[in-house]
Amino acid sequence: MRLILLGPPGSGKGTQAQRLVQRYGIVQLSTGEMLRAAVAAETPVGLKAKDLMANGQLVPDDIVVGIISDRIDQPDAAKGFVLDGFPRTVPQAEALDELLKKKHLRLDAVVELRVNESALLQRVETRVAEMLARGEEVRVDDTPEVLTKRLAAYRSQTEPLIHYYSERRKLATVDGMMTIEQVTREVNRILSAVGALEPKLAPARKAKAAARKTARPAAKKAAKTAKKAVKTARKAAKPASRGAKTAGNKKAARKAVSAARGRGGASAQKTVRKAAKKVTKKRAKR
């Protein structure tokens, strides 16, 4: 599963990304965290990024894409990944497409969490007011003023991605104003529809399939036993002499063969033994 979550600040991308990580065992790719990890690990691209960051410069797209490339090559990303916060621009999206193409990977979906900006601002204002009332310190980047600037940057830089991925038939939109649970269900429905999720059997069907799988060796053995029983019954049903076969012999033989074929296993063997015994008694009376 490989997907991108799009949406303005406060739309719930991080929450949904974490839910996908926990449920499906994929990794969340956050460019900020990846940059810090690459710098700490002193990878080639990490060292390049370190020098730029130390000088207060923005890390160029090619270095960010290089870090993403290294990250998705790691074993824990084998099941897939969710990108949250990248790409932010159309050039970054194009660079990501090229990277995935080189690695022979396919992007399953781009899920846009669409929200009402006025409602987002109201949420922040309410949260800040509640924190101040409790005497808590408010983060400098968690204010209505900062959010207003971030929303403006999102509209100018990132919103064009909606058209970009829509043209490529990768975009699906979810109402981000729904509850967290409702958004999660809708995201899962979309991923299932595009084939990003493996179909899961219902518990009853899963148990039935497991039982059927377990029963196969026993059924095979029973069939083999039944076949052997049929052969034994036919042999036992043959008359002692080449004279005329009695109606009783024929009936007993037919019964034995039918039982061995139809039932198999212990029940077939029991019927065969009974029929063979009956035939033996009749022969003795002659």
Q: What confidence score (pLDDT) does residue 79 get?
A: 92
Q: What confidence score (pLDDT) does residue 240 get?
A: 46
What value does the CA radius of gyration of the chain take, rounded to a whole number of Å?
35
Q: What confidence score (pLDDT) does residue 236 get?
A: 64
Q: What confidence score (pLDDT) does residue 84 get?
A: 83
pLDDT at 238 exceeding the cut of 70: no
pLDDT at 210 exceeding the cut of 60: no
pLDDT at 6 exceeding the cut of 70: yes
Task: Taking residues 61-73, report their average pLDDT.
Answer: 89
Q: What confidence score (pLDDT) does residue 174 get?
A: 96
Pairing between strand 27-29 and 109-114?
unpaired
> Which of 117, 114, 116 minimizes the C-alpha distance to 174?
114
Does a cis peptide bond (omega within 30 degrees of 0) precede residue 75? no
Q: Which is more confident, 254 or 85?
A: 85
> Which of 65, 67, 75 minimizes the C-alpha distance to 25?
75
Q: DSSP 3-state assignment of 149? A: helix
Q: DSSP 3-state assignment of 27? A: strand
Q: Which is more confident, 167 or 31?
A: 167
For 221-228, the CB contacts below 8 A with 24+ separation are 222/264, 222/265, 223/264, 225/264, 225/265, 225/268, 225/269, 226/260, 226/261, 226/263, 226/264, 226/265, 226/268, 227/260
The two tokens of residue 22 are 């926990």
Task: Taking residues 182-210, report their average pLDDT.
Answer: 74
Length of the chain: 286
CATH number of 2-26+79-200: 3.40.50.300
Least confident of 67-71, 184-188, 230-234: 230-234
pLDDT at 237 exceeding the cut of 70: no
What stretches of 73-164 adopt beta strand conformation (E)? Answer: 81-84, 109-114
Q: What confidence score (pLDDT) does residue 26 get?
A: 94
Least confident of 23-37, 95-109, 132-146, 192-206: 192-206
Instruction: Give the CA-trace dihedral at 164, 166, 168, 171, to 10 degrees.
Output: 110
pLDDT at 197 exceeding the cut of 90: no
93: how many CB neighbours lie within 10 A of its CB?
22
> Which of 198, 201, 178, 177 minimizes the C-alpha distance to 188?
198
What average pLDDT does the structure give for the chain? 79
What stretches of 76-180 adopt beta strand conformation (E)? Answer: 81-84, 109-114, 171-175
pLDDT at 25 exceeding the cut of 80: yes
Name the residues annotated as catalytic. Answer: 13, 88, 127, 139, 150
In the block, residue with structure tokens 């529809």: 193
